[in-house]
Chains A and B, each alone.
Chain A
Amino acid sequence: MSDKNYAHPEALVSTEWVADHLADSHLRIVESNEDILLYDTGHIQGAVHIDWRSDLQDQTIRDYITPQQFAALCERNGISNDTTVVFYGDKSNWWACYALWVFRLFGHTKVKIMDGGRDKWVAEGRHLTRAVPHFAHGHYTAPEIRCDAEIRAFYDQALAQSRAGMSLIDVRSPAEFRGEVTHMPEYPQEGVLRGGHIPGAASVPWKMAVKDDSTFKSVNELRQIYEDEAGLQPGQDVIAYCRIGERSSHTWFVLTYLLGYKNVRNYDGSWTEWGNKVGAPIERN
């Protein structure tokens, strides 16, 4: 991926690279999808399935699993602290980036995304299997805490960012940003009472970062989008948000790994929190 001059080219691997590393015992391939049954219909040989909802989130309150639960999740998927995890999935890697971001919340830094995701793998006619792999349990030492402070933003922090005139990136569709709709195109309503965006946020739909085949654009193209057009600058504190945090995970990955921004946080409460919160300021234009 070095030909695209990414800040962290090691974080992005091609479908060809994955195909060449299927037998690498230091690697675990993880599929994360929106389509809940897609993995069951066929997946990359040796890939395990990690579901954003049932595996990564607390099943009662809106939050993530504990460090101990994360360690157990990793161990049962044959992931140890030193395992490199390659994520891929449907929807241009929305949920793969989300899962990667959650892994980073727990301090797991040996992570990669397969560029182009599942669609590219399938489009290239590469092999899928229905055989679910079984790996020996990994040995995972749970981190003491979840690193929320580093890469995750909460409502109060997003509000402070807005009031201070600091960078906020709204990665939803333009119609959602303008408050014309309260759901994304082609999706059901996810329960938001007000439409619009966080005051001061710039609209940069997630899709701007990818090409038609779902692979990421080059650094120069990304700089033009995020810096020349949206006004971001390297070194700035940036908060990205969408509706529930998956599309903004995608943008978080772009800013952090491809452009090399060091202070990007994903506001995973996103619009389903902001648009429902009593008294939250909203801008529409």
Chain B
Amino acid sequence: MYPGKLSQIISLFEALPDAEKRESLISYAAAASKQGPRDGEAFDLEDIRKDEECTDTVGVFLRVSPERHCAFRVTLGPQVQTLTKAMTAILCKGLDGLTPEEIIDVPADFVPKIVGAELVRQRSQTVYYILTRMKGIARVWLNRERSAAAQGA
């Protein structure tokens, strides 16, 4: 139901007791700061913006290999909440290597499986925001690919 690495992460979280689940989320959140672009990296698309529904600026960077495998980098402003930071690191790892089409098809219902029902609240809905942004940039990449193909035909 869920693609490769993401499925493994979900399975791991589902097996964890609540305390360890929290601890894992904290670890992933701490890793969020390492998800940004590294020196010398080039990207096919970059989308840095502050949206109304998120507390701070989020930058999403996408590189697609010739084999159409996606790699994401994400930067987060300091006001972003811990759960959103955790989800960022999870998604960068879990969606790595998927095609743009597969990214767009990832269902969002895995979030409560990772976060747990207790932590999913009205005001923590921005955990879905990073996935939405990743899907959005994948969609833009696909549209450009189709446009380029149409022009070349």
* B118 and A54 contact, CB distance less than 8 A: yes
In the complex, A37 has a CB within 8 A of chain B = yes
Task: Name B's interface SS.
Answer: helix
For B60-82 the 0/1 string (1 means CB < 8 A from A) is 00000000000000000000011
Q: How many angstroms between the C-alpha atoms of A43 and B151 in the bound complex?
A: 57
| Contacting pair A35 B118 (CB below 8 A) | no
Residues of A contacting B124 in the complex (Cβ-Cβ under 8 angstroms): 36
- Residues in B whose Cβ lies below 8 Å from that of A187: 53, 55, 123
Q: Is the CB of B22 within 8 A of A40?
A: yes
When the two chains form their complex, are residues B118 and A41 in contact, meaning their CB atoms are under 8 A apart? no
Docked complex: B100-153 residues within 8 A CB-CB of A = 118-119, 121-126
Contact B53 A37 (CB under 8 A): no
**The one of B22, B23, B52, B122 that contacts A185, using a Cβ cutoff of 8 Å:** B52
Q: How near does chain B come to A89, taking the closest CB pair, in angstroms?
A: 13
Contact A53 B121 (CB under 8 A): yes
B89 CB-CB contact with A under 8 Å: no
A34 on the B face (CB < 8 A): yes
- How big is chain A's contact interface, by range? 10 to 19
**In the assembled complex, how far is the CB of residue A84 from the closest CB belonging to chain B, in whole angstroms?**
29
How far apart sit A36 and B84, CA to CA, in the bound complex (Å)? 11
Is the Cβ of A37 less than 8 Å from the Cβ of B52?
no
Decide yes or no whether A190 CB sits under 8 A from chain B. Answer: yes
Residues of the A chain whose Cβ atoms lie less than 8 Å from the Cβ of B23: 40
A188 and B25: CB pair below 8 A? no
Given contacts A188-B125, A190-B122, contact A36 B52 (CB under 8 A): no
Minimum CB–CB distance for B96 against chain A, Å: 24
**A35 (CB) vs chain B CBs: closest residue:** B81
What is the count of residue pairs linking A and B with beta-carbon distances less than 8 angstroms?
Answer: 48
Total residues of chain B contacting the partner, CB 8 A: 22
B26 within 8 A of A: yes
Indicate the member of A36, A186, A190 with the most B CB atoms within 10 Å.
Answer: A36
Kindly list chain B residues whose C-beta atoms are within 8 Å of the C-beta of A40.
22-23, 26, 82
In contact, A38 and B82 (Cβ under 8 angstroms): yes
Least Cβ distance of B23 to chain A in Å? 8
Min distance, Cβ B55 to any Cβ of chain A, angstroms: 5
Which chain B residue shows the least CB distance to A36? B119
Docked pose: A41 CA to B32 CA in angstroms: 13
The distance in angstroms between the C-alpha atoms of A35 and B25, with both chains bound, is: 13
Chain B residues whose C-beta falls within 8 Å of the C-beta of A165 in the assembled complex: none
Q: Does B29 touch A at the CB level, under 8 Å? A: yes
- Contact (Cβ within 8 A) A37 B29: yes
Q: CA–CA, A40 to B52, complex, Å? A: 27
Whether A133 sits at the interface, judged by CB under 8 Å, is no
Check A37–B83 contact: CB distance below 8 A: yes
Contact of A188 among B29, B119, B126 (CB under 8 A): B126
Q: Which residue of B lies closest to A38 (CB)?
A: B82
Q: Are B54 and A186 in contact (CB under 8 A)?
A: yes
Taking CB atoms and an 8 Å cut-off, the chain A residues in 180-208 that contact chain B are: 185-188, 190-191
* CB of B95 within 8 Å of the partner chain: no
On chain A, the residues within 8 Å of B82 by CB distance are 35-38, 40-41
Given contacts A185-B52, A188-B126, contact A37 B119 (CB under 8 A): yes
Contact A37 B122 (CB under 8 A): no
Q: Tell me, rounded to whole Å, the shortest Cβ–Cβ distance linking B103 to chain A.
A: 23
The 3 closest A-B pairs by CB, nearest first: A37-B82, A188-B125, A35-B81
14 A-B residue pairs with Cβ-Cβ distance under 8 Å, sorted by A, are A35-B82, A36-B83, A36-B119, A36-B124, A37-B81, A38-B81, A40-B22, A53-B121, A54-B118, A187-B53, A188-B53, A188-B123, A190-B123, A191-B122
Known pairs A38-B81, A40-B26, A186-B53; list 6 more (Cβ under 8 Å): A36-B119, A37-B22, A37-B86, A186-B54, A188-B122, A190-B122
